[in-house]
């Protein structure tokens, strides 16, 4: 049994719990407890499998991911989770921990405002008036240090449109129209405004950028001046704006536009308007990565719980993401 538990602890940081569920079944088949109580009271494999069954019931909620992120968007709550991940604590002991950090919380607040939401989403347990983190909660604490920097930048008690959009934009810049397909169109403007205010996304300053592209025409068939050749050679295959082209070629914007007109007249370049897009900032990329890591842990835990409940590796259903209408393509 100790070998299996050692593997579980090693796997907690890389989201591979579902891969060792068959090992738990093998361990149970090879185990010969003297009494059933010995299994219930002392077997860590039994306790883990029992926890996964319990988590499976909690995660069966279609709004589970929303509830989980709302529970995490609270700094005192994250502090409590990190504390009870190390050991079991009573309410009184947790109050003492808060006093050490110069935070005074009443018994009612610690229990109802901070601990109950953690228990409701399967991050913590209560046993004999003591609280401790579940194995699922312990796995999530690997992401908490990074998430703490952003927890209060996101609205609490929300539908988590911001979290959905951040993960959607991690695949690359998206237009306003594409974003409307990822989250409810009625909240797109408000969600974008919140993320911009938090410094998590940015957008093009213009409503549309005019980009210049090369045509397939052979430039050797035309006589180009030195500056025309310089401008032509500076145009990327994926296109470039006049402002960026001016900087790259080190030619003033006024002259850049003049040479671009000449190159268009020789049918060596063409223009295309690129719609306004939204993209992640460096902070946004970091938070999106943390959200995706949390999502992977959730999905792995869900898969593991289904394996335990079904008694096999066949999973009947698959847990969805934050929003059912999110386009992940």
pLDDT of residue 191: 95
pLDDT of amino acid 275: 78
In a shared domain, residues 75 and 224: no
Do 126 and 241 fall into the same domain?
Answer: no
Residues 151 and 300 in one domain: yes
Assess whether 12 and 89 both reside in one domain.
Answer: yes
Helices 75-84 and 135-148, packing angle to 10 deg:
140
Please give the structure tokens belonging to residue 84.
Answer: 């009870």
Domain hosting residue 188, numbered range? 162-205+279-291
Q: Classify residue 198: in a domain, yes or no.
A: yes
pTM equals: 0.69
Compute the distance between CA of residue 27 and CA of residue 5 in angstroms, rounded to an integer.
10
Classify residue 329: in a domain, yes or no. Answer: no
Given a contact cutoff of 8 angstroms between Cβ atoms, the answer to whether 191 and 270 are in contact is: no
Residue 326 lies in a domain: no
Q: Do 173 and 55 reside in the same domain of the chain? A: no
Q: Does residue 68 fall inside a structural domain?
A: yes
Q: Residue 254 is part of a domain; what is its CATH number?
A: 1.10.10.10
Domain annotation covers residue 262? yes
**SS3 state at 329:** coil
Quote the strand ranges of 188-234, DSSP E: 201-203, 208-214
- Read off the pLDDT of residues 23-34 as tens digits, 9 standing for 90 and up: 666 666 666 665
pLDDT of the residue at 103: 59
Same domain, 234 and 283: no
Query: Rounded distance, CA 266 to CA 261, Å?
Result: 9
What residues of the chain score a pLDDT lower than 50? 1-15, 312-320, 323-329
- 239, 271: one domain: yes
Do 238 and 150 lie in one domain? The reply is: no
Same domain, 88 and 22: yes
- Please tell me the distance from the alpha carbon of residue 256 to that of residue 241, in angstroms, as a whole number: 11
Tokens describing residue 308: 């335990």
In a domain, 169, yes or no: yes
Backbone φ and ψ for 225, nearest 5 degrees, come out as: -75, 170
Examine residue 303 and state whether it is found in any structural domain, yes or no: yes
* Residues 138 and 222 both lie in one domain: no
Cα separation, 57 vs 50, in Å, equals 11
Residue 168 belongs to a domain with what CATH number?
A: 1.10.10
Please tell me what DSSP assigns to residue 155: P
Cα–Cα distance measured from residue 270 to residue 253, given in angstroms and rounded to the nearest whole number: 18
How many structural domains are present in the chain?
A: 3
318 domain residue, yes or no: no
Does residue 11 share a domain with residue 93?
Answer: yes
Residues 226 and 258 in one domain: yes
């Amino acid at each position: 049994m100790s070998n299996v538990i050692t593997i579980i602890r090693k796997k907690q940081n890389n989201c591979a719990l579902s891969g060792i569920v068959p090992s738990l079944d093998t361990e149970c088949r090879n185990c010969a407890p003297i009494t059933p109580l010995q299994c219930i009271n002392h077997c860590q494999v039994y306790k883990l499998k029992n926890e996964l069954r319990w988590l499976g019931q909690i995660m069966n909620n279609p709004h589970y991911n929303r509830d989980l992120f709302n529970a995490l968007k609270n700094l005192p709550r994250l502090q409590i989770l990190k504390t009870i991940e190390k050991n079991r604590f009573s309410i009184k002991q947790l109050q003492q921990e808060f006093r050490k950090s110069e935070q005074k919380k009443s018994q009612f607040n610690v229990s109802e405002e901070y601990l109950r939401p953690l228990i409701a989403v399967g991050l913590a347990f209560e046993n004999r008036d003591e609280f401790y983190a579940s194995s699922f909660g312990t796995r999530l604490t690997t992401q908490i240090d990074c998430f703490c920097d952003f927890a209060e930048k996101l609205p609490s008690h929300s539908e988590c449109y911001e979290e959905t959009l951040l993960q959607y934009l991690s695949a690359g810049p998206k237009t306003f129209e594409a974003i409307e397909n990822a989250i409810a169109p009625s909240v797109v403007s408000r969600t974008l405004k919140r993320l911009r205010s938090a410094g998590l996304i940015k957008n093009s300053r213009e409503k549309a950028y005019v980009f210049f592209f090369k045509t397939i025409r052979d430039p050797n068939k035309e006589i180009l001046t030195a500056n025309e050749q310089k401008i032509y050679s500076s145009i990327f295959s994926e296109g470039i704006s006049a402002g960026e082209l001016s900087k790259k070629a080190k030619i003033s914007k006024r002259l850049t536009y003049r040479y671009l007109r000449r190159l268009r007249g020789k049918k060596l370049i063409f223009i295309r308007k690129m719609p306004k897009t939204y993209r992640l900032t460096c902070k946004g990329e970091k938070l999106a990565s943390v959200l995706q890591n949390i999502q992977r842990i959730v999905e792995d835990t869900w898969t593991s719980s289904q394996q335990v409940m079904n008694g096999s590796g066949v999973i009947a259903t698959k847990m969805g993401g934050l929003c059912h209408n999110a386009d992940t393509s």
